[in-house]
Chains A and B, each alone.
Chain A
Amino acid sequence: MKKIFLSNAMRILCILLTIVLLVSCSPGKQTGGTNPDEKVTITISFDAVALAGGGDLDDIFAEFYKENPNIAIESVPMVATSPEMTAKIASGNAPDLFRLEGVTALPGMASKGLLLELDDYIAKSDKIVLDNLYDVCNVFRFDGREAGKGPIYGVPKDWSIDTQMWINKKMFRDAGLRVPTKNEPLTYDELAVACHKFFKTNEKGEVVQLGLVGLYGIVQTIEVMLAQQGKSMWSEDFGSTTLADPDTRKAIEYYLDLQQNGGMESPLNPANTYYTWFIEGKAAMFNYGYWIASQMSNEQNWKIDVNDVELVPGPVWNKNKRFSACLAGTGSAIYKNTKHPDEAFKVFEYIHFGPPADTRAKKAFGLPIDRTKTSLLPQDTPFLKMAYESVLDDAEYASADVRINPYANYASVNATFEKYYVPVLFEQDTLDSALEKINNEFNILIREGKEILGVD
């Protein structure tokens, strides 16, 4: 009996091992290669929502499949700076087409040699005409040190002037303040006065009204403030910081003052549902850009008169010097080690210049990168028309001058800054002490980044 059991166990084991061997020796997923008839699978880190505001991937790519029957598309949705993507890149399993923010993620990824240069592909393309693209496309250029110059690695799929603000004109009028317009934005001095004036607490000390909500991260906001003056948080060669410079410190102090004392949303005065704060008239300014125009136009829960809402440019230091910044520019780039660069580029073209780009434009997903598609943006209500005119007007001032250090991963820079800034906000540390710690950590990040890239 025992012998029978033992021999059965051996048989089962042999079968199991055979199965394991067969599976491991099988050719796996057919990814194709040189044979044009062979099916090629291109992995993209987009989902249907990012591509076309939802729907079925097969429907989104229906036209593409007709033209390219030998290419299959597999979606592995994730953004370029996510831990999942980092792990995939680290293990050599990155998707063929990355979804990434041109402004914040491209310099770091291009400097590490992860992205394919697309100049030759674009030159040969009959779907991409560089002259038709907005200048903001340059956020996908990187010359090895500076963004905005050098070879092109991708394009934004849609973009916005992220510094633009939605304002409640009635609140400005009631407070006796100048109402900003699409031609005359607020100055930073006016913004500070407005934020202090709008900030209100009740008898228990609870915040009931804020000036500005829905902010971008502190690093980008300060970099925008500095870029407007032709300055930066980083030295010319990105080898050190300018945190000790008076202008940088002034910008940080300005931001800190508004968050501590003057009605700008912060962990101290959180407005978790900042969109609701704005539509309910509890916040006078909402820094979210054109992205949210479509959602706002369908909003049913306004507690303010929608005619009092306007999209205006972000604040400037000097009224006569406009500066509008794209702070994200989400698009895609192709993985340098892709086995199928030609096929990946076809998918790239389709996503950015084919039917999905039209769908996104019609849904006001931000501005299309191709000017010829701008007319597709919805203008069928006075609200959408106002937003359309405002964003197009501001787009002419769009700048890609916000500098991102290629040696220090942007997420690290932001996290490091926040780590030491928040205790200052809560008066648990001094600004001097925090800036010293930030400076030390930034220097380490830069040194390590240079070492890895082999830069002196």
Chain B
Amino acid sequence: MLIKRSQETNKIVKKGIQYKMRAKAFYVIMIPYLIMMLCVKGFPFAWGLYISFTNFTGFNIDKLKMVGINNYLRVFTDNEAISSIGRTFGISLIVVPLSICICLLLSLLLYANIKGIGVFRTIYYLPSIIPSIAVVTMWKGMFVKEGGLLNMVSKLFGGQSINWLGYDYARKALIIMLLWGAGSGILTNLAAMKAVPNDLYEAAEIEGAGYFTKLFKITLPLISNMIYMNLVTGIIAMLQLFGQPVLLTATAGAGLTALPIRPIYTYLVHVYQQIFVNLRFGYGLAMVWVIFTVIMLLTIVVDKTSKYWVNNEMN
């Protein structure tokens, strides 16, 4: 009995040692990454936070003054910051849900087991791997008033030229362009669909369930974690919308400091203008921390609601 107990104790001790060794090995392997992460990301984060409380202009590091929370207060009294975040939310409210729906629809179509489906999957996923600068350049060529593809097609059918990049249509043009890249979640959606056990569909069919019943009762609930992920990443991406509006409708300036037309002057564009055009580094970085907080809060809200509509192993 004593011998048996001792053998069991030895086993537990051995397991404990093994666990400790594995944990040590894990941390040993992780240390270079953690050091890099602290240097590459941690330091800029801390520096950015510090600068957001100063009057840094890029040229006055030797005369730096702490301004307390003035830069943060300014965000809420800056009409341009408020209106630009309103515009950004407006665009996000259209683009995020539509993107998720389009992506879902494409995923369902591309899940079909037909010959040559791989070609279609590649075609629909292609926009997601093209760099955004190339995408904007291509769409700009299509939207341009004189000689643009859209207006050429419109003229063929007797329509009028539209100034897609002008005040009245710029937001529509941007939304169309952003929705063109809606297929970025196709791969993850397809992977999630493939993970749904076939038995469930077979059992449902035996019970007489039709396509839509299976879709709404089995497929969508079981891939809801992917929809959740697309929603969160979509919100984050849209609230950080920057390059596309600038490159699409620049009216003044050059490169990324160019000024997009007002209906698509988004929050991050305002941030970039503050930092690199107006040289208000402190204020610009305070704006960055404000949008970071907004994104964080929205992510927490979405996460809190997820227990009501997202299916995962835990629930």
Chain A contact residues, CB within 8 Å of chain B: 2-3, 5-6, 9-10, 13, 16-17, 81-83, 86-87, 89-90, 92, 112-114, 204-206, 217, 267-268, 270-273, 409, 411-412, 414-415, 417-419, 422-423, 425-426, 428, 445, 448, 451-452, 454
In whole angstroms, how far apart are the Cα atoms of A195 and B58 in the complex?
43
Nearest CB of A to B151, in Å: 9
**A411 with B277: CB separation less than 8 A:** yes
Known A16-B32, A271-B146: A412·B278 in contact at CB below 8 Å? yes
Nearest CB of B to A347, in Å: 24
**B273 with A268: CB separation less than 8 A:** no
Residue of B nearest to A271 (CB): B146
**B28 with A418: CB separation less than 8 A:** no
Instruction: From B57, B63, B147, B275, name the one whose CB has the most chain A CB atoms within 10 angstroms.
Output: B57
Nearest CB of B to A406, in Å: 13
- Residues of B near A10 (CB, < 8 A) are 28
List 26 contacting pairs A-B, 8 Å CB cutoff, sorted by A: A13-B31, A17-B32, A83-B276, A86-B58, A86-B276, A90-B61, A112-B59, A204-B160, A205-B160, A206-B161, A267-B166, A267-B167, A268-B166, A270-B145, A409-B279, A411-B253, A412-B277, A415-B252, A415-B257, A415-B273, A415-B277, A419-B80, A422-B167, A452-B55, A452-B57, A452-B59
**A409 with B277: CB separation less than 8 A:** yes
- Residues of B near A90 (CB, < 8 A) are 56, 58-59, 61, 281
Nearest CB of B to A201, in Å: 10
**B32 with A411: CB separation less than 8 A:** no
- Residues of A near B29 (CB, < 8 A) are 9, 13
- Find residues 249-289 in chain B having any chain A CB closer than 8 Å to their own CB: 249, 251-257, 259, 261-262, 265, 272-273, 275-281
Known: A10-B28, A113-B59, A425-B167. 6 other contacts (CB 8 A): A81-B257, A82-B254, A411-B257, A412-B277, A415-B257, A418-B259
**A423 with B59: CB separation less than 8 A:** no
Known A86-B58, A90-B59: A9·B28 in contact at CB below 8 Å? yes
**B251 with A418: CB separation less than 8 A:** yes
- Residues of A near B55 (CB, < 8 A) are 451-452
**B167 with A272: CB separation less than 8 A:** no
Closest 5 CB pairs of A and B: A426-B167, A418-B252, A90-B58, A83-B276, A112-B59
Question: Which listed residue (B146, B165, B257) contacts A273, Cβ 8 A?
Answer: B146
Give the dominant DSSP class at A's interface: helix
Chain B contact residues (Cβ within 8 angstroms of A): what range? 35 or more
Known A267-B166, A270-B146, A452-B59: A13·B28 in contact at CB below 8 Å? yes
- Residues of A near B252 (CB, < 8 A) are 217, 414-415, 417-418
**A426 with B21: CB separation less than 8 A:** no
Residue of B nearest to A267 (CB): B251
**B262 with A419: CB separation less than 8 A:** yes
**A6 with B58: CB separation less than 8 A:** no
In whole angstroms, how far apart are the Cα atoms of A202 and B268 in the complex?
40
**B278 with A445: CB separation less than 8 A:** yes
Known A205-B160, A418-B251: A423·B262 in contact at CB below 8 Å? yes
Residue of A nearest to B22 (CB): A2
**A2 with B21: CB separation less than 8 A:** yes
Nearest CB of A to B265, in Å: 7
- Residues of A near B213 (CB, < 8 A) are none
Nearest CB of A to B73, in Å: 15
Interface assignment of B132: CB less than 8 Å from any CB of chain A:
no
Residue of B nearest to A416 (CB): B278
- Residues of A near B281 (CB, < 8 A) are 90
Nearest CB of B to A210, in Å: 11
